[in-house]
């Protein structure tokens, strides 16, 4: 039986793919600093992106471990 795995690399810590990762977080913080008057809508957009990422990662875990 083939072993299920996220990656074929020999790294100890594996980063799972998702919509919101390090680069996107930096971009969002920059947008918040540059456009504080749009904070309400930017925060909602960021929250939606975080929900999408959470669903992606739960699905990945379910698929790999289930």
**pLDDT tens-place string over residues 6-55:** 566 777 766 677 777 778 899 999 999 999 999 999 999 999 999 999 99
How sure is the predictor about 4, in pLDDT bands with cuts at 50, 70 and 90? low
pLDDT (0 to 100) of residue 41 = 97
Euclidean distance between the first and the last CA atom of the chain, given in angstroms as a whole number = 15
How sure is the predictor about 5, in pLDDT bands with cuts at 50, 70 and 90? low
Instruction: Name 46's Cβ contacts closer than 8 Å, sequence gap at least 6.
Output: 20, 28
What is the residue extent of each domain of the chain? 22-65
> Residue 9 CB: number of other CB atoms within 10 A?
8
């Amino acid at each position: 039986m083939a072993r299920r795995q996220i990656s074929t690399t020999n790294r100890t810590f594996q980063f799972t793919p998702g919509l919101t990762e390090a680069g996107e977080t930096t971009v969002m913080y920059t947008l918040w600093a540059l456009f504080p008057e749009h904070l309400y809508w930017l925060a909602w957009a960021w929250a939606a992106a975080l929900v999408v990422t959470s669903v992606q990662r739960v699905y990945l875990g379910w698929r790999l471990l289930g």
